[in-house]
Structure 1
Amino acid sequence: MITHKGTQEIRTERLLLRKIQPEDAGMVFQWMSDPEVCKYERWSPHPSAGFSKSYIKEVFGGYQSELTYQWGIQLGDELIGSVSIVNVNDYDQKAVLGYCLARKYWSNGYTTEAVRAVVRYMLSEIGLNRIEASHSVNNMASGRVLEKSGFVLEGHAKDYYCCSLGLQDSNLYGITRNQL
């Protein structure tokens, strides 16, 4: 049975996963304005901290719903990225995972640590049965995050989504409650 609780704080060994607040705009802008971070994303780099603040207010407004699952990844006093669960489907008991991390924190295991915690929360606490994710075949680091987080490669899709680089072939992954 699915019991929606929305974005709750989650602590891991090194991180605090928490709601993103309007006062985080400067930190959010640091990674969401980086063209390298945004290279395979479906959105363009943020043009200003003000734009980031508007984005956060839109997300923050969504926290009023227990169906909103959007975490900031906090390391020490700094917000360094985000993890989200979208397209939650109660009937099929599944959702889609997304994540983003500031470039200067890449290759330290932070994304994997955050993803594992969110997946555990969504499958164990919320009651979803399945979480799906995909990545451009050109972004192999994203695939490594998914594999280290317990996701299983389920297939390959031609021209699956569009980003600033154009249409991207993608690898499709999934994890179920039984795989935890």
Structure 2
Amino acid sequence: MPRNPERRTQLADAGLAVLAEAGARGLTHRAVDAAAGLPAGTASNYFKTRDALLGALGERIFERLAPDEAVLEPLAAREPGLELMTDYVHYIVERLLGRPEITLALLELRLEAARRPGLHEILSRTLRQGFDADVAFNANAGLPGGAEEIRLLHFAIDGLVLDQLTPGTGRPYDVEAITARLVRRLTRED
């Protein structure tokens, strides 16, 4: 495998762009080469198979979606409570909706992972790490709720993002207000 990490990253980013624009069916080595502006065959030199290409995209996408520490640090320094949790969840939603091409690529990868065990393993591992990081942030910040509430928020955020980026309910709504309601409802005592 070629060892140029910058080129590998360039190809993975181009692959994510192709995936978001053309879907899994449009993702080919040749399409990735074209999107990256590189000679034909470059992607094949880095990713010998479609599974290798998809696996690289599955790893790269979470680097692209990683939270900005400059945003997290001031959040973590604030007084724990419902307002902080709401702001944190809103930041997650804002990050996902603010980069629709990356989020659409993630949705495509998740669907493709349902049919490809290797990709399923990569995405599952990375999604678990993200979930564990969210639970740890929540606990370290002294926020309300635990792992179960975080899991429910993940489910709700996934649905909200899906509705925003694909044909949805067709009703306009305030994402910030919806996010605040989700947090309030999911963190109250049953």
TM-score of the pair, normalised by structure 1 = 0.28
More strand by share: 1
Query: Rg: which structure is higher?
Result: 2
